[in-house]
Amino acid sequence: MGTPRYSEEFKAEAVRLFKAGNKPVAQLARKLGVAGETIRTWASRAETHLRQSANPS
């Protein structure tokens, strides 16, 4: 069985909820059925993407 694939919409919503900070990441991860580190990775990638979009080389 391979790694589950999540839609971009699902990832964006997970990152939005994570950044809202209303729940600990472990609780949010359990609710969404993903690992906390996965949510942190998605948030980091989203932040990197925003920085690159704001400062194109």
Would residue 22 count as lying in a domain?
Answer: yes
- 8-48 pLDDT per residue, tens: 999 999 999 999 999 999 999 999 999 999 999 999 999 99
Range of the domain at 31: 8-54
Per-residue pLDDT band at 1 (split at 50, 70, 90): low
Q: Looking at the 3D structure of the chain, how many domains does it have?
A: 1
Would residue 1 count as lying in a domain?
Answer: no
Would residue 50 count as lying in a domain?
Answer: yes
Q: With 90 as the cut, is the pLDDT of residue 52 above it?
A: no
Q: What is the pTM of this model?
A: 0.82
Would residue 3 count as lying in a domain?
Answer: no
- Sign of the Cα torsion 14, 28, 23, 48 reads negative
> What is the model's pLDDT at position 55?
79
> What is the model's pLDDT at position 50?
84
Helix (H, G, I), strand (E, B) or coil at 31: helix
Would residue 30 count as lying in a domain?
Answer: yes
